[in-house]
Structure 1
Amino acid sequence: MLHLEAGDWRLTLQPELGGTIAALAYQGRDILRPTPPGATSPLETASFPLVPYANRIADGRFTVDGIDYHIPLNMSDQVHPLHGLGWLSGWAVEASDPVSAVLVHVHEGDERWPWAYRAEQHFTLEANGLRVSLSVENRDSKPMPAGLGFHPYFPADGTTRLTFDAQSVWLSTADLLPTKQASADHFADWSTGAAVARDTLIDNAYDGWSGTATIETADDIVLLAGEGTPYFHVFMPPGLGFYCAEPVSDLTNAINRGAPTMLAQGETRTVALSLTIGSGESH
């Protein structure tokens, strides 16, 4: 565990468990869902990084530069590989001080992902909140497709509301691959704010996201901002007491939906997430 502290903020990191956030608290209140003691899966943590791809790749199959690839499943209960490799790998602590840390994950290229890369997370805790950047550098001789994102879990109860603007939402197949676009208010009118406690599942990507969102709880107004993340994936499972609001660089299965973002050897792609406390006015 690695502990950072600035003002009213406390951040705990778990480099060895997928480079994850174990807890983020403001004035002693959990901003992210805290990781339970003894947790062994990144799915139990407060947040994990998505690298070198975000969300699902259909059947693990894709073609890049005329070469067909097939990567294996990385979770036994899923039908598509998802979320990349970073969350299932240990990260090294390259640097740290009381208010910041740099975590590094290096992949040499294998059947799970054919390209070699280096990923970095930079955590900075300040008096007004947390900023974390996530980057991936292609260290392979061949151009590499790359997608990035964040998978934070937020606590939810009957008072929690989420507000954000987007152009549309992608409806999905039963195995959670996007199929067609619908109006952004298809599930709820998030532009004016809506409750996150729901009776039915939402697990969908919002397109044309403005890059900001507001989370209203009984105690705080949390401002979420993404950089380099035009998509906003929302995961709201009924009755579990949490939801996920995920800034991501690409749509689910982007590598099979047209031209993915490609990195030349030595090229880097970066995204960022900020969580701060608002002044009391909603988004």
Structure 2
Amino acid sequence: MGAATVLELQAGELHLALAPDVGGSIASFRRRWHERAALRELDWLRPAGAEGLAERHPLAMASFPLVPFCNRIRNGRATFEGREIRFPPNHPAEDSPHPLHGIGWQRPWRVESAGSSRAVLTLDVPAGPAWPWRFTARQTFDLRPDSLMVRMALTNEDTAAMPAGIGHHPYFPHEPGTRLTAAAQAMWEADEEVMPTRLAETEEVRQLRRGVRLADLHTDNNFTGWSREACIEWPADAHGPERSLVMQAEAPLDHFVLYCQRGLDYFCAEPVSQCTDWLNLMDRYGPEALGGARLEPGETLSARFTLTPRW
């Protein structure tokens, strides 16, 4: 099959590589500049390697889209207004009964247009037993000399109302000394299968509000009441000078997932519109704690977030 096709965008010193065949993913987002006649490179997202691109492995990418839902659905089972969801396990590396991340990350996307600094990718998914609604999705990537803006849209193309979630799954480098600041109201505590059990204002919530060294965290949790802004700070090191990146999102990306595991050289800070297993928890907790949307036929859910590096 060969390595995946990669689209290269550039604006000033910022470079963006997209892998449409690999779930409409971002393959890399980096700065390239000259220093004393030498070409330097600095990655703002964990870059996809040659092996990941050759194997078309979305979990090896820098970021991938989450449609038509984010996070997990318990045992892949839920009902919505008379239709049953029967989603099979879909994790390529773990034996888990809880499917995750939706459908878009495991399908090739079509390149609708591509220029020097802007690209549009689209996806059309027919209804099936796993997700009994037809939908389309669109991603627009606008690269500027100082930032990357990603617009997402999810449209219900079916004849009945559809539940919907939307988001992105960026992987950031976790270098020694990396700090993260992100204000939220509460965190979903989770069981050993990463399924939510209780909503609380935890110590992790308070640490993130103040700003915390990532080495002091061990999380795979959803946060509610997110301010829609997160700041990542890296110290000066062999990779580059002291630097930071601000992620800003717009509604409905009111929720935030932080995957930060000890010993890994990356972490995930994900802007999302709904929490894990929201369909099965809605009767108990309601939309404020869980998010999620209901789309009438022809209705579109859209979202936008921006990554702004500073150096």
Tell me the TM-score range normalised by the shorter chain: over 0.9
Unpaired segments ≥5 residues, structure 1: none
Q: What root-mean-square deviation, in Å, do the aligned CA atoms of Structure 1 and Structure 2 show?
A: 1.5
One-letter amino acid of the structure 1 residue matched with residue 308 of structure 2: T
1:254 aligns with 2:278: yes
Aligned position for 2:11: 6
What SS does structure 1 have at the residue aligned with 2:100?
coil
Aligned position for 2:22: 17
Aligned equivalent of 2:199, options 176, 181, 189: 181
TM-score (norm. length: structure 1)? 0.94
What SS does structure 1 have at the residue aligned with 2:105?
helix
Aligned equivalent of 2:303, options 268, 271, 275: 271
The answer to whether the Cα contact below 8 Å between 1:16 and 1:89 also exists between their aligned partners in 2 is yes
The answer to whether the Cα contact below 8 Å between 2:85 and 2:130 also exists between their aligned partners in 1 is no
The answer to whether the Cα contact below 8 Å between 2:186 and 2:205 also exists between their aligned partners in 1 is no
1:187, distance to aligned residue in structure 2 (A): 6.6
1:101, distance to aligned residue in structure 2 (A): 0.3
Runs of 4+ in 1 over 4 A off after TM superposition: none
The answer to whether the Cα contact below 8 Å between 2:83 and 2:132 also exists between their aligned partners in 1 is no
Aligned position for 2:117: 99
1:261, distance to aligned residue in structure 2 (A): 1.6
Superposed, which structure 2 residues align to 1:2-81 within 5 Å?
2-27=7-32, 28-39=41-52, 40=55, 41-75=57-91, 77-81=95-99
One-letter amino acid of the structure 2 residue matched with residue 230 of structure 1: D
1:207, distance to aligned residue in structure 2 (A): 0.7
Bigger Cα Rg? 2
Give the distance between the partners of 2:73 and 2:127, measured in 1 at CA.
17
1:87-127 CA-to-partner distances (Å, cap 9, x unmatched) read 00000000110000000011011122111000000000001
Aligned equivalent of 1:170, options 177, 184, 188: 188
Q: Which has the higher helix share?
A: 2
The answer to whether the Cα contact below 8 Å between 1:72 and 1:111 also exists between their aligned partners in 2 is no
1:197, distance to aligned residue in structure 2 (A): 2.3
One-letter amino acid of the structure 2 residue matched with residue 68 of structure 1: E
Aligned equivalent of 2:105, options 84, 87, 91: 87
1:188, distance to aligned residue in structure 2 (A): 6.0
1:277, distance to aligned residue in structure 2 (A): 2.3
Identity %: 38
